[in-house]
Amino acid sequence: MRIYNTFTRKKEEFIPIESGKIKMYSCGPTVYNYFHIGNARAFLFFDVVRRYFEYTGNEVIYVQNITDIDDKIIAKAISEKTSFEEVAAKYISAFYEDCDALGINKPSFQPKASEYIKEMIDFISLLVERGYAYPSNSDVYFSINSFAKYGELSGKIIEEQRTGARVEENVSKRHPADFTLWKAAKPDEPSWNSPWGKGRPGWHTECVVMSQKLLGKTFDIHGGGSDLAFPHHENERAQAEVVTGQPMANYWMHNGFINIDGTKMSKSLDNFFLTRDVLQKYSPDAVRFFFLSKHYRSPIDYNVGILDEAEKAVSNLTACFEGLNEADINSLGNNGADSFAKYKQDFSDAMDDDFNTAKAIAVLFDLSRAIKVNGLDTTSKNELINLLYKLGKVLGFFRKLNNCSYNDSKANNNSELTVKLIELLINYRMEARDNKNWVKSDQIRDELSALGIILKDDKNGTTWDLKKNN
Ligand SMILES: [Zn+2]
């Protein structure tokens, strides 16, 4: 399979770090508002990436962060005379509801920034200690001159401008492009104690710390909307790679914008449509069709009428399931081998070519036409319906036909809990080591090992992994 890698600006053969196990991260919402369909495109597309990897037999560990501390959340809390926690809680539930309505599966992990503050302070301290970052007026900045490869991902050339340049006076940064890792709190702002005083971590640091905690130093895919390539992903990468000396992610994937009258849909331009409003009028399958009928890297123009067409198109597909009884529907996707290998092959060829969902959808329509051919025998018809369902599910269609739910994903909640418990034990072991209690420290390591959890110690601390099956 080939994936377009923003880093190399070309399609490359996709080779995962560990065969059969894909580790991917994509930047999730900042929870200060309902999300618009421009945001939804990224959430939905990376869900399809994950589904396709699972369809092809891989285990996927998919992490999507939730930014629940941010200037915009604080500003909203002030304007609504409430706390930032309440703003975040309200829009986190709204985010879950809207993802559920769109038929997006819950990621393996959805870490919240507020739950990783200690780890972020430790990480920023390490950057300062090693000279990659510096405190200034109770803020901490990353020094872009400390990372020679800065700009490689986005292709941005940062001009050499030094402190004292005549354009700026009294600057607290060494270089105008140095970015904030830790932000000093103003009075009455939410804050945490740190070696630099009360403050909060910056967004770029949040994603680095959470992705490395849950996926390790290098993972397979880092995704997000194309507006995140610079500065957000460039800044994530700089922080991660100065410490680890290895790539943060092997493949960087970015989806295109949704445009309205040729202009990018965004909250700042006030030309957006909220996902929940669109879903009042159109089915989730129609919205999904609207996104996936174009290649993910191409911009999509949103206008009145385009979703009407999408609704008509998907009703042609779902018509294939009309007349099925409940037992038939429940057995869809589980029926034996399908003999129509050509459709499967065409579908895989499309998806293997940098997730060409537009071509993959064309295969679904080929199938729906085959189902409607007069005189088709019942066995063949059932097999074709079954295959249409199976391939459609890879793209997330036909959710209405069964009862899956975003919030019911208990297995995922369990794995999040497991990680927290393992980290708790690692912290106890660190404490034992600090107290030179080697017996206790070894006992914790051995007991985790017996459970299939391997600890690795290096100069940056302790990381863990699951024991490989042999
Ligand atoms: Zn991010």
Integer Rg of the chain from CA: 24
- Residue 136: the pLDDT is 95
Among residues 118, 95, 116, the alpha carbon closest in space to that of 107 is found at 95
- Residue 339: the pLDDT is 65
Task: Give the tens place of pLDDT for each residue, 116-155.
Answer: 999 999 999 999 999 999 999 999 999 999 999 999 999 8
Distance 51 CA to ligand 1 centre (A): 21
Distance 352 CA to ligand 1 centre (A): 26
Spatial neighbors of 155 by CB under 8 A, at least 6 apart, are 9
Cβ neighbours around 407 below 10 Å, total: 12
Distance 29 CA to ligand 1 centre (A): 9
Determine the Cα angle at 251 with ends 15 and 105, to 5°: 90
Looking at residue 149, its amino acid is: K
Distance 203 CA to ligand 1 centre (A): 7
Distance 55 CA to ligand 1 centre (A): 26
User: Would you give the DSSP letter of residue 232?
Assistant: I
Distance 232 CA to ligand 1 centre (A): 6
Distance 432 CA to ligand 1 centre (A): 34
Distance 211 CA to ligand 1 centre (A): 9
Distance 384 CA to ligand 1 centre (A): 41
Distance 162 CA to ligand 1 centre (A): 28
Distance 253 CA to ligand 1 centre (A): 12
- Residue 53: the pLDDT is 98
Distance 56 CA to ligand 1 centre (A): 27
Distance 261 CA to ligand 1 centre (A): 28
Distance separating alpha carbons of residues 49 and 58, to the nearest angstrom: 12
Helices marked H in 67-201: 71-79, 84-102, 117-129
- Residue 166: the pLDDT is 47
Distance 222 CA to ligand 1 centre (A): 9
What is the residue whose two structure tokens read 């009145």? 304
- Residue 405: the pLDDT is 43
Distance 181 CA to ligand 1 centre (A): 13
Distance 323 CA to ligand 1 centre (A): 45
Distance 182 CA to ligand 1 centre (A): 16
Tokens linked to 380: 């063949």
Residues 275 and 34: beta-carbon distance below 8 Å = yes
Distance 233 CA to ligand 1 centre (A): 7
- Residue 408: the pLDDT is 37
Helices marked H in 216-356: 234-244, 275-281, 284-292, 306-318, 326-331, 341-352
Distance 430 CA to ligand 1 centre (A): 29
- Residue 163: the pLDDT is 44
- Residue 264: the pLDDT is 82
Residues 150 and 158: beta-carbon distance below 8 Å = yes
Tokens linked to 198: 């009360």
Distance 26 CA to ligand 1 centre (A): 7
- Residue 5: the pLDDT is 98
Specify the length of the chain in residues: 470
Distance 101 CA to ligand 1 centre (A): 24
Distance 328 CA to ligand 1 centre (A): 42
Looking at residue 218, its amino acid is: T
Tell me the whole-structure pTM to 2 decimals. Answer: 0.84
Q: Which residues of the chain have pLDDT under 50?
A: 161-167, 169-170, 403-413, 470
Distance 94 CA to ligand 1 centre (A): 20
Q: Concatenated DSSP letters for 281-306?
A: HS-HHHHHHHHHTS-TTS-EE--TTH
Task: Give the tens place of pLDDT for each residue, 355-394.
Answer: 999 999 999 999 999 998 888 888 888 889 999 999 999 9
Q: Using CB atoms within 10 A of its CB, is residue 188 exposed (0-12), middle (13-18) or buried (19+)?
A: exposed
Distance 31 CA to ligand 1 centre (A): 13
Among residues 171, 111, 117, the alpha carbon closest in space to that of 141 is found at 171
Distance 235 CA to ligand 1 centre (A): 9
User: Which domains, ranges and CATH numbers included, belong to the chain?
Assistant: 2-264 (3.40.50.620), 282-407 (1.20.120.640), 410-466 (no CATH)
- Residue 119: the pLDDT is 95
Q: How far is CA 204 from the centre of its chain?
A: 14
Distance 129 CA to ligand 1 centre (A): 24
Distance separating alpha carbons of residues 65 and 279, to the nearest angstrom: 24
User: Would you give the DSSP letter of residue 233?
Assistant: I
Distance 227 CA to ligand 1 centre (A): 11
- Residue 370: the pLDDT is 92
Distance 204 CA to ligand 1 centre (A): 6
Distance 11 CA to ligand 1 centre (A): 23
Compute the CA torsion angle 433, 434, 437, 443 (nearest 10 deg): -30
Looking at residue 418, its amino acid is: T
What is the residue whose two structure tokens read 């405190």? 135
